[in-house]
Chain A
Amino acid sequence: MNSISKELKEFKKNKDLFFIGLPGMLALFIVCYLPMFGLIIAFKRFNFDDGILGSPWAGLDNFKFFFTSQDAFRVTRNTLLLNGTFIILSFAAAVFVALMLNELNKRSVKVFQTVLFVPYFISWIVVGYLVYGFLSFDYGVINSILKGLNMAPVDWYSDPKYWPVILTASYLWKNVGYLTIIFYTGMLGIDASFYEAASIDGASKFQQAKAITIPLIKPLVILMLILSIGKIFYSDFGLFFFVPREVGALLPTTDVIDTYVYRSLRVIGDLGMASAAGFYQSIVGFLLVLGSNLFIRKVSKENAVF
């Protein structure tokens, strides 16, 4: 009783802020939380007659196809390694570029920012064609250059060993500009008086970046990092599907969970099995986020997301 009235009192103190956040929370509830009843599809033998709620339970049967697969290890490894590489490199590149932009005058920032952001608009289907234009054996741009240099052309699409690099390059090309804008925006929020004070103290640009920009941008980077880690089991389907052109020989290094599930189920089209794979990805992502958040809370409490 006492605790309830205490909580009520606390709520009264916070009610203005609560109501500011309320519309967003309601919208999230409708758009995201209401459909969550569908999570149970992963545990159902779904049929149209009985619908989602009425279909018979299937226990963990829907999870079997993925976990008993001989490729489960391979696709999990690819997913983690490739996405891990993407996160590390794209974050490093974006922070680096954003730091440079932060030092430049506004006009050149505009130009560079626009240029770097354009690839974000090119769909993966089209990127797939572009990559093929660069790498095709006979007429590809790269092989033409190699031939010009009197070097032997490379058969890029038959050897899986090149593909982690090609995929990473494609990913960075398309996404670094986007991340850069996020970090650059974060830097814009930094109080200019810090820099003024530092300049007066005679700090060099490097010192300013190290002492002001980086520490102040750190919470944003950490937040983005945690969000990305939560998504590490999900892959950018378009990248892994369209860029390697579904060439079977490349699957050893390009097959990730999303593409594997898609390829396996496209004939059978089983809603329950597809949901089970998605559920697995969510759970792992969730645990990873809880883990990394816990870790950050231990190291520096104020940077933890929740």
Chain B
Amino acid sequence: MQKLRSNKLNLIMKFILTIISVLTLLPLVYLISVSFSTDAGIARYGYTLIPRSFTLEGYKYIFKVPRPIITGYMVSVTVTVLGTALGLALSSTLAYVMARKDYRYSKATSFYVFFTMLFNGGLVPTYIVMTKLLHVQNTIWGLIIPYSISPWFTMIMKGFMETLPFEIVESAKIDGAGEFKTFVRIILPVAKPAIATVGLFYAFAYWNDWWLAMLYISKESLIPLQFLLYRTLSNLSYILNNMSSLLNVNMSNIPSESVRMGMAVIAAGPMLILFPFFQKHFVKGLTVGSVKG
């Protein structure tokens, strides 16, 4: 009886989630369709689920000079891997001490972290610190250091860690393990889903970023993929908005709507590969017993 009911419930939930998923995916199907459509076709038929005027022009445009795209991918991957590792190391340790209610300075630390979420010095002072003090401009570190610790992700991590069964810490202490050893041996394994999630967020923050490249990088060999795409989009929308003030803009550089959508596809694509890699760690049912054993 119980089982039957829970099966029925399962079906209903799957049904609801399927509807939500379809609604979520629908705009994306349009997006992909547009990336394969001609401008004239879009002007004539609007957005359609299946391209009415099929073309590969958009992708050809994006890949016409493939060298920067390849470099861009490499830079992005390097930055994402290094940055995520650094970010996780800094955030998980800091989040852990905040989550430890028996730590004397846990609330003070929380406040210290939280304060930076609300107040920031602004662009110029940050730029000055990064370039005059740390000299990260035109190095790979310019793309890593500024995001190496995110107060926001650290607080999320703290939230996750608070849901962990902290009795295990007590038992580890009784076994005579030091704090650092407890953290590495006991906490990190049970915090796997939390680390995977925050790692995912860090990875995507790094992967999606074009802002740091805009500020700190002027060497073409260090331009990440997203900035490559962003640069084209922003250039485009600026020119479209200010055409008459710029009397002789070179219009042959203006990409079409299919290019914009194609760029979105290319930028979001790698996520679909990366995502399952992180999902592996979304393991349910880690218990005190399983850790000890």
- Taking beta carbons and an 8 Å cutoff, which residues of A are in contact with B? 10-11, 13-14, 16-21, 23-25, 27-28, 30-39, 41, 52, 97, 100-101, 103-104, 106, 108-123, 125-126, 129-130, 133-134, 136, 138-141, 144, 173, 177, 181-182, 184-193, 202, 204-205, 216-217, 219-220, 223-224, 227, 230-231, 271, 275, 278, 282, 285-286, 289, 302, 305-306
Contact = CB atoms under 8 A, between A and B. Distances in A.
Interface in B236-256: 237
Across the A-B interface, the 6 shortest Cβ-Cβ residue pairs: A139-B46, A38-B125, A24-B94, A35-B121, A38-B121, A133-B47
Contacts of B27: 119, 130, 134, 173
A47 B83 CA distance: 35
Contacts of B98: 21
A219 B166 CA distance: 14
A37 B121 contact: yes
Contact of B260 (A112, A126, A230): A126
Contacts of A125: 233, 237, 260
B121 A305 contact: no
30 contacts: A14-B103, A16-B179, A17-B103, A20-B96, A27-B90, A27-B149, A28-B151, A34-B121, A35-B129, A41-B124, A52-B128, A101-B17, A103-B9, A104-B10, A104-B17, A108-B14, A109-B282, A110-B276, A112-B17, A118-B271, A122-B264, A129-B257, A130-B30, A185-B193, A188-B193, A188-B286, A204-B6, A227-B155, A275-B122, A286-B119
B126 A35 contact: yes
Contact of B46 (A111, A138, A289): A138
Given A116-B21, A126-B264, A302-B101, 8 more contacts: A36-B119, A116-B24, A118-B268, A130-B30, A130-B31, A186-B159, A205-B9, A282-B120
Interface in B1-15: 2, 5-6, 9-10, 13-14
Contact of B47 (A17, A33, A134, A224): A134
A223 B158 contact: yes
A202 B149 contact: no
Nearest to B21: A115
A53 B120 CA distance: 16
Interface in B174-232: 178-180, 183, 190-191, 193-194, 196-197, 200, 204, 208, 230
B121 A189 contact: no
B46 A118 contact: no
Contacts of A271: 124
A104 B180 contact: no
Nearest to A199: B2
Interface in B112-155: 112-114, 116-122, 124-126, 128-129, 133-134, 145-146, 148-149, 151-152, 154-155
Contacts of A133: 30, 34, 46-47
Interface of B: 2, 5-6, 9-10, 13-14, 16-17, 20-21, 24-25, 27-28, 30-31, 34, 44-47, 89-91, 93-98, 100-101, 103-105, 107-114, 116-122, 124-126, 128-129, 133-134, 145-146, 148-149, 151-152, 154-156, 158-165, 178-180, 183, 190-191, 193-194, 196-197, 200, 204, 208, 230, 233, 237, 257, 260-261, 263-264, 267-268, 271-272, 275-276, 279, 282-289
B107 A306 contact: yes
Contacts of A138: 46
A181 B201 CA distance: 10
B259 to A, nearest CB: 11
B10 A103 contact: yes
B117 to A, nearest CB: 6
Given A24-B91, A220-B160, A122 B275 contact: no
Contact of B193 (A177, A189, A220): A189
A111 B157 CA distance: 24
A260 to B, nearest CB: 18
Nearest to B183: A20
A173 B17 contact: no
Contacts of B114: 227, 230, 289, 305-306
B160 A185 contact: yes
A118 to B, nearest CB: 6
Nearest to A7: B104
A23 B204 contact: no
A32 B197 contact: no
A36 B125 contact: yes
A192 B285 contact: yes
Given A126-B260, A177-B24, A189-B164, A28 B204 contact: no
